[in-house]
Amino acid sequence: MGLSIKNAEVERLIRALAARRGAPMTEALRQLLAEEEARAALARESEVEERRRRLREIIARTSELPRLTDLSDEEIIGYDENGLPR
C-alpha cells in the first residue's frame, strides 16, 4: 500500500528524521511509528494497572465496613434464584 505525503511540513520532518537516524525515510518513519505504538501500549498498561490498584483500595476499604443488617447479600439485593424480584 502506498502513501503519498502532500504536506511540505510533514515531508520536511520525515527528511530530518531520516537524516538524524541515518536511514531511508520509509524506515525512519516505520521506526518512529513502532516506537510510538510501543509507548502508547505501555501507557495503556500503566492506566489499567492504576485502575486495578484503585479498585483494590476500594475493595479493601469496603470489606472493612461493618455489616448493618443480618440479611444475606441475596436478600438485600432482593432477587430470587431466577433473577426476578421477590
SS (H, E, C) the chain: CCCCCCCHHHHHHHHHHHHHHCCCHHHHHHHHHHHHHHHHHHHHHHHHHHHHHHHHHHHHHHHCCCCCCCCCHHHHHCECCCCCEC
Mean pLDDT of the chain: 93
Q: What is the mean pLDDT of residues 28-43?
A: 96
pTM of this prediction?
0.60
pLDDT tier, 82 (very low <50, low <70, confident <90, very high otherwise): confident
- pLDDT at position 18: 97
Q: What is the mean pLDDT of residues 2-22?
A: 94
Q: What is the mean pLDDT of residues 43-58?
A: 97
